[in-house]
Every structure is written in structure tokens, then in C-alpha cells.
Amino acid sequence: MLDYIIAPSILSADFTRLGEEVRAVLAAGADAIHFDVMDHHYVPNLTVGPLVCQSLRQAGITAPIDVHLMTKPVDDLIIAFAKAGADWITIHPQATEHLDRSLQLILDHGCQAGIALNPATPWQGLDYVVDKLSMMLIMSVNPGFGGQAFIDVTLDKIAQVHQWRTAHQYAFRLAVDGGVNISNIGRIAHAGADTFVAGSAIFGAPDYAEVIAQMRQILVNQTEQKD
Ligand code: DX5
Ligand code: ZN
């Protein structure tokens, strides 16, 4: 079984103190940083670019950075974020004309590749690119904003992808992004997810370490129930 990963989304961080915020969640027990990039075209919101990712690296942040590109087109930014220090780069299939080429571009630039599936996007049909994937990111909200409510039907999709992964012994991580909190993380893990992106639930909490420890405890209980 894969270890669980908790990846706070910087979207809900205090951007006037981003370096401190990132250090604080890592010190509080986060495993990776989820870096949401929005372009006001593929999604209605606008966030930050490669310069900010590079600044985190230059400030000494060594934790894995998972760049979630909600941009269209996407290929130039894949290259820019790879150069800026991304570890994982996750893209939406709708954001590229040539999914296989964009995934290969991520790999050619030394990063691990992920695909993000919107709530209405079926997971089927990825057989011909699955060998390139290190992560399948199931969106449990429509991309564009932090702080939205988890869409419950996503649990079925996670369970189906988990089943498909198990049947074929694929090694990609099964991540969930949007509306994850301590009330639903147990159910999400039960459905088969192993990687949990959470923005407002972590950065909105008064004590980051406490909420991450609570999440981790729920995940441990979940594992024990399975054994
Ligand atoms: C949504 C982003 C998510 C979001 C998560 O478009 O991809 O990463 O910021 O934030 P919460 O956990 O607040 O839903
Ligand atoms: Zn995201």
C-alpha cells in the first residue's frame, strides 16, 4: 500500500507571507506543497506563476512541490515550472490538444506527470497514457476557487479508479483535491485515495499541526480498519 500524503494547497495561504506559511505547514507535518496555478482562461481565477515557485526554492524550500496547472494552453508553462523547481506537474486533459505530448513534455523535463479530472470528466479512456502517470488527481470541486464544498459523487469515481488501479497493479498515486477536511477525509481514504490536497481546511485552521495530526490520525484509523 502507498503511504498517505497530505499536501496543503497554497491557495488558502496568506500570500503576503507565503514563505513563512509554506515553512509552517511543512513544520506542522505536511508532506508536500500543492501549488495551484490559474490563468483566468481555463478557470475564472488568476493566481501565481513560475517566479513564485522558483522563489520558494530559492528560499530553501526542499519539500516536493506539486504544481496543479489550471491553464490553457499548458505546454509552455510545463517547461517554465519544471525549470522553476516543480517535482510533480499535473494538467487537465481539456487544456491540451495533445495529451500524450504534454505528458511526455513533463517527463522530458524531469518531473513526474499527473492528470487532473474535473467532477464531470469520466476517468475512463486513459489506458493509452497511464504508463506516463505518477498521479491521478480527482477534482472534488470545480477548479477555480478554494473553500468550495466537496462534491460527494466523487467518492464513487475515486472507488472506481482505485479498483482499476488495483486490477492492473498501476503505481500512480490517487489524489483528491477540493473540499477535503477532517469530516470527510476518512470516507475519501476508504474509497481508495492516498493523497489529500487541502487548502482552507489547513490554512483556515488556527493550528496547522493540530489539523494535520487529526487528518493523519483518521488515516491511520482507516488503515487499521482495512487490515
Ligand atoms: C481548486 C484547487 C484546489 C483548492 C483546494 O481549483 O485546485 O487545490 O485550492 O482548496 P480547498 O481545500 O479549500 O477546497
Ligand atoms: Zn489544486
Q: Could you tell me the distance, in angstroms and rounded to a whole number, from the CA of residue 36 to the centre of ligand 2?
A: 5
Tell me the CA distances in angstroms from 32 to 7, 51, 61, 195, 203, one per residue in order.
5, 19, 10, 10, 14
The whole-number mean pLDDT for each consecutive block of 10 residues of the chain, a chain of 227 residues, reads 88 98 98 98 98 98 98 98 98 98 98 98 98 98 98 98 98 98 98 98 98 97 81
177 is catalytic: yes
Q: Is the C-beta atom of 92 inside 6 A of ligand 1?
A: no
**Pairing between β-strand 133-139 and β-strand 5-8 as defined by DSSP bridges:** unpaired
Q: Is the C-beta atom of 200 inside 6 A of ligand 1?
A: yes
pLDDT confidence of residue 227: 67
Q: Could you tell me the distance, in angstroms and rounded to a whole number, from the CA of residue 131 to the centre of ligand 2?
A: 22
Q: Is the C-beta atom of 147 inside 6 A of ligand 1?
A: yes
| Gap between the Cα atoms of 50 and 212, Å rounded | 27
Given a contact cutoff of 8 angstroms between Cβ atoms, the answer to whether 212 and 182 are in contact is no
pLDDT confidence of residue 151: 98
Nearest protein Cα to ligand 1, atom 6:
143
Q: Could you tell me the distance, in angstroms and rounded to a whole number, from the CA of residue 33 to the centre of ligand 2?
A: 10
Q: Is the C-beta atom of 13 inside 6 A of ligand 1?
A: no
Question: Best mutation site among 141, 181, 195, 196 for ligand 1, i.e. most ligand atoms within 8 A of its Cβ?
Answer: 141
Helix (H) or strand (E) holding 40: none
Q: Is the C-beta atom of 195 inside 6 A of ligand 1?
A: no
Amino acid 218 reads I
pLDDT confidence of residue 2: 57
Query: What size, in residues, is the chain?
Result: 227
Pick the closest to residue 92 from 62, 141, 136, 54 (CA basis): 136
Given a contact cutoff of 8 angstroms between Cβ atoms, the answer to whether 33 and 21 are in contact is no
pLDDT confidence of residue 91: 98
pLDDT confidence of residue 171: 96
- Catalytic, out of 31, 36, 39, 66: 36
Q: Pinpoint the alpha helices (H) of 47-195.
A: 50-58, 75-83, 99-108, 154-168, 185-191
